[in-house]
Structure 1
Amino acid sequence: MKSVKVSGKTIEEAVAFAVTQLHAKTKDNIDYNVVEEPKKGFLGLIGSRPALIEARYKPDPAEEAQRFLSRVLEDMGVEIQVVKAESRDREAVFHLYGEEPGVIIGKHGKTLDSLQYLAQLAANRYAKKQMTITLDAENYRQRRRETLEDLAEKLASKAERTGGQVVLEPMPPQERKIIHAALQSNQRIKTYSSGTEPRRYIVIAPA
């Protein structure tokens, strides 16, 4: 990680210089240690000493995820724009726009989920606390949520009607959460997850 030693009349001034030298957006994008405290000296001149800090660029996890995605999509040979829709302390949402959305969504969103997983790994290389990355394309996430909620209701009815268990296909954690949430108010059935990742699945059974 690149670091620089910077001096200034005050620590604040040295930090401002470090932000410029490291091409950071704000002081929040750097970490620094004070090497020498400033000293005013006699009459403000004799024996005075500037502040000296050692500063390092601190990558923004969301920005690193965005850069990673752009490189991967370029290597895939698809013209897709990565736009950050929102970013909070521990979560960032990106929308992918392009002429070939189906290529990056994949069957049942598997390609999109894989890209999301890799982007999350890229972000968490620089995050102090675990960060969640969400990718969406062509409003796929909302459409998939509605599909899963409809599926959950139909399979819950089947479990009630037959009195037996209904086993769903393996799903990623975020999709299993949708199924569980859709049926949590149904007192006639119960849901639980079984198996191990990445083949973990949901079972719907009479209560």
Structure 2
Amino acid sequence: MDKKEIKIIEEITEKLLKLLDVEGNFEILEVKGDKEESLDIVLNTKDTGVVIGYHGDTLEGLQLVLSLCVARKLGRFIRISVDVGDYKKNRAEWLKTLALETKERVLSEGKEIAIPELKSWERRVVHLLLEGDGEVISESQGEGRDRILIVRPRK
């Protein structure tokens, strides 16, 4: 990603935050080693709770709108993750613990276990953590808000 594209993303982010009446600053970080183009936007604001919203719903909506605006302007999709107040960072740590505990339960009980009510980025964290595991397999099933993550023993 070149400097011109980063500048465009900065401008879009600034406009969106201004429209939402959110004061603060942000940093754009390129994610290296990901299979697709990815950016992390770290937002620093005193309005953390407002930006995160109930169970992260507002943050997820902000991220979606930002991703769509950037895709439209650049003509291609770039995975954008927005974090504020270390919400996603802390949530990802909890998800890693959940994934490892679920793996241990699957192995000890010898049957699949469902993890319901995860957002798409949360399922992705679990999938990426378990994808190279030789003992269990993770997969998502269902549609929309009813989508669940299944962890089962590898046969």
TM-score normalised by the chain length of structure 2: 0.78
Alignment-derived partner of residue 83 in structure 1: 26
What are the within-5 Å matches in structure 2 for residues 37-76 of structure 1? 60-72=8-20, 74=21
Asked if the contact 1:80–1:96 (Cα under 8 Å) also holds between the matched residues in 2, the reply is no
Higher relative strand content? 1
- Please list the CA deviations of residues 172-196 of structure 1 after superposition, one character each: whole Å capped at 9, or x if unmatched: 3322121012223432221111112
4+ residue segments displaced more than 6 Å: none
Letter in 2 for 1:204: V
Q: Does 1:146 align with 2:90?
A: no
Q: Does 1:160 align with 2:112?
A: no
Match of 2:51 among 97, 101, 104: 104
Asked if the contact 1:84–1:92 (Cα under 8 Å) also holds between the matched residues in 2, the reply is no
Question: In 2, Cα distance between the equivalents of 1:186 and 1:133?
Answer: 26
Alignment-derived partner of residue 34 in structure 2: none
Question: In 1, Cα distance between the equivalents of 2:38 and 2:10?
Answer: 8
Q: Give the aligned length.
A: 146
Higher relative contact order (CA 8 A, sep 6+): 2
Larger Rg: 1
Asked if the contact 1:120–1:131 (Cα under 8 Å) also holds between the matched residues in 2, the reply is yes
Asked if the contact 1:68–1:122 (Cα under 8 Å) also holds between the matched residues in 2, the reply is no
Asked if the contact 1:66–1:119 (Cα under 8 Å) also holds between the matched residues in 2, the reply is no
Structure 1: give runs of 5+ residues left out of the alignment: 1-27, 30-58
Question: In 2, Cα distance between the equivalents of 1:82 and 1:124?
Answer: 22
Aligned sequence identity (%):
22
* 1:130 partner SS: coil
Asked if the contact 1:70–1:82 (Cα under 8 Å) also holds between the matched residues in 2, the reply is no
